[in-house]
Structure 1
């Protein structure tokens, strides 16, 4: 049986014995981790160490994709902020995690938009809700952002606007001036084929805005990412900024290996074009070599680097509730052997930046003993070039402690 998990990535075979020793040390030596709590510790920068990407802003603390969230992430030390981009009816790029804004805004509380609720097909999957492409920017600005995860702080719901990409760029430039740091931005183009089918062209508008703010250059600290391929190949011919090929998956098997089944087993533009290659195929030597022809970085779900295994004591094909808390989550799983993805990607000339790292114990394999710092430091030891996190402050503390 497939266990649905939050996404992740891969690993160095030649250093496995060393990694096992290091992970054991991290799990058994609490003194090593006390540096993470030292407010006077020296700050480690991203110049020589993994880059910390603030996933959707400060999404562990504030609603996703808000100016306040991005500013908070910068305050916490993020090297890059990450806006997901979708497009309004009138062709404006705005930051939402998905075209469907049912769970990320208070749209359901606006009776004037009740008739906009509908069913749409997004990347081959039927969804019901309210969709950005049915709203003008002026209409969207009447809505407010909400925290989509029930277990996180809901007290900021209804306070913050849905920002445009241009507003985020303006914030970035202001923050660079205020902090003296060349903070980066890594926008993700969400569902490019879906938008194209609606007559909305995201890529050219993205480039236009980068040009407008003098950010469309190799040294601008701008990186663009996508789960699809055709849009990255197009952008590769139009810009010198770095590009990330994101690598998704539908989940993990009980043995800790990737479950290579639909719907998240291949780029959607591959499906549309009848290309049977999957994300796993893209991570072979030949696949990585092809990615290198149009991108600079791969961004895999972190389980492609090191997955987690469940147990099935009664043979029913379902993961056991090892902790006995009535739930089956990451706390009931143990780490699998790391893969060779990091080594393979580096040999192909690609950097590796996995997603997504989170603090909640239910999202941490039992090996980490409910301590997210241990997960970060394990992946640093494996050799990642950066990572996406909902909790920038935790990632920064882990990086400072590990690299001192």
Structure 2
């Protein structure tokens, strides 16, 4: 039977070639034919949703080189981790709009770093409009996979995350189910709250290979369930009644034993049998990101045997894959 093609999702645009979450990163992903793009969203001091991987922006913008913002450098505890740097919630949108995007991994991706300091930060509303226009220009549906970042943290400092996002989605015409929208988060509480605001989308729960979700840890401490506990039969039964899908670290999907990949984790089929969509993140060709059996040589930036790893992922018959190099992903997963 022919293998079905998963959705190919441009993870932060096309960060294998351009600084993540920059305008050119998304433009390139859309030109390369992805089914959807994935923006991470955090907030400014005046409640504007902006597209950044984290609210700490020292590695993804030129803020550290801007003397007018030197006094904004501080240390905060974000999801249980102490971080020092500059944070989006300490800037208004007008201030953030003066910053420029930078490559987060310049040693691994020097080609992308050559575009540093040339593009401003995007608002979430900018990205929604960009995708809508691309869909009209290309004559096809293109989706948005919205990842809500640090919802419990932002809620703890006074932000009504669900209401802010619901308002932005409604203003852009992405709230009523007419355009393909997926909402994802490592915190299921954030998904429930946005669904309760009437947003019509598919809600997907992100799960790490280790640890526990911060919303539950903040509420229940060390007794809160781990990610692994939520992938047991009992956990999957609960999730199937509460979300539309799960998105797994590829370490969970690839059953690695004795230094080799021995197939696909049974959790994928178990979830799909319960009616859950299953996605995985992130398909990247560089040695630094490949499972150990697929690395070739010692150069972390060099491409390893990514096709072999992606074949194992494709054989899992997933509903969607996140890719950093959309041209490779579109070609491979639709082959």
TM over 0.5: yes
Among candidates 97, 120, 123, match of residue 53 of structure 2: 97
What is the TM-score when the length of structure 1 is the normalising length? 0.76
- Determine the structure 2 residue equivalent to 1:84: 40
Structure showing greater Rg: 1
- Determine the structure 2 residue equivalent to 1:351: 277
Q: Does 1:280 align with 2:228?
A: yes
What is the TM-score when the length of structure 2 is the normalising length? 0.91
- Determine the structure 2 residue equivalent to 1:115: 71
RMSD: 1.8
Q: Which has the higher contact order (CA 8 A, sep 6+)?
A: 1
Report 1:1-400 matches (<5 A).
49-150=5-106, 151-152=108-109, 153=111, 154-237=113-196, 238-249=198-209, 260=210, 265-274=211-220, 275-308=223-256, 333-365=259-291, 367-368=293-294, 370-400=304-334
Spell out, residue by residue over 1:324-361, the C-alpha distance to the aligned partner (whole angstroms, 9 max, x if none): xxxxxxxxx53255320111101111011010110112
Q: Is this contact kept in 2: 1:373–1:395, CA < 8 A?
A: no
Q: Is this contact kept in 1: 2:264–2:313, CA < 8 A?
A: no
Q: Is this contact kept in 2: 1:57–1:72, CA < 8 A?
A: yes
Spell out, residue by residue over 1:72-105, the C-alpha distance to the aligned partner (whole angstroms, 9 max, x if none): 1011111001000000000000000001001010
Q: 2-side partners of 1:205 and 1:379: how far apart?
A: 36
How much does 1:307 deviate?
4.3
Stretches of 4+ moved more than 3 A in 1?
307-310, 365-369
Secondary structure of residue in 2 paired with 1:273: helix
Q: 1-side partners of 2:185 and 2:87: how far apart?
A: 20
Q: Is this contact kept in 2: 1:376–1:395, CA < 8 A?
A: no
- Gap regions ≥5 residues in structure 1: 1-43, 250-259, 311-332
Q: Is this contact kept in 1: 2:100–2:120, CA < 8 A?
A: yes
Count of equivalent residues:
320
Spell out, residue by residue over 1:172-227, the C-alpha distance to the aligned partner (whole angstroms, 9 max, x if none): 11111111111100110000011011112222121112222222133420010000
- Gap regions ≥5 residues in structure 2: 297-303
- Determine the structure 2 residue equivalent to 1:15: none
Higher strand share: 2
Secondary structure of residue in 2 paired with 1:187: strand
Secondary structure of residue in 1 paired with 2:281: coil
How much does 1:279 deviate?
0.4
